[in-house]
Amino acid sequence: MTNLIIDKRKEETLTPIISFDAKTGYCEMIGETCMEDPPKFYLPVYDWLDNYFKTTAPIELNVRLTSINSPSSKCILNILNMLFEYKEKGRKVKVLWHYPKDLEEEICEEIEDYSVESQMEIEGISY
C-alpha cells in the first residue's frame, strides 16, 4: 500500500493538504477545506482508508483545518464515520484536532458536533 499525498493548492484555492502514511498510520489534514466539489476531492481519501482498513494497523488522524464549508463538513464527517466503524472492529484509532487559540470557541463547537455525529472521540489541542 502506498502513501496518500494530496496538495492541490496551486491548482485550486481553499483545498487542504492531505498526507496519509501507510506504514505508520499517521494521517494529517492541514489548511482550509472550502472548495466547490469536496466529494470529488475527498474520493481518493475514502479509497485510501478503505484499503488501509483491510489491515489491522492503528491509525491516527491529525486534523489541522481552520475553515470548513458545509459541503466539506459532510466529507469530514464521512471520514470520521469510517474511522468509527474501523474502531468498532477492535482497531486502534485516535483523532486529534489541532487549532489556534484564537479560534478555540468556534472550533471546539465544531469538534463537539463532529464527535456527537460520528460517535468518534476527538481530542482538541490548542496551540
pLDDT in tens, the chain (127 residues): 999 999 987 777 799 999 999 999 999 999 999 998 999 999 999 999 999 999 999 999 999 999 999 999 999 999 999 999 999 999 999 999 999 999 889 899 999 999 999 999 999 999 9
Confidence (pLDDT) at 75? 98
Identify the pLDDT of residue 30. 96
Closest to 82 in 3D by CA, of 59, 64, 112: 59
| Three state DSSP letters for the chain | CCCEEECCCCCCCCCCEEEECCCCCEEEEEEEECCCCHHHHHHHHHHHHHHHCCCCCCEEEEEEEEEECHHHHHHHHHHHHHHHHHHHCCCCEEEEEEECHHHHHHHHHHHHHHHHHHCCCCEEEEC
Q: Alpha-carbon distance 67 to 69, whole Å?
A: 7
What is the predicted pLDDT for the residue at 9? 79
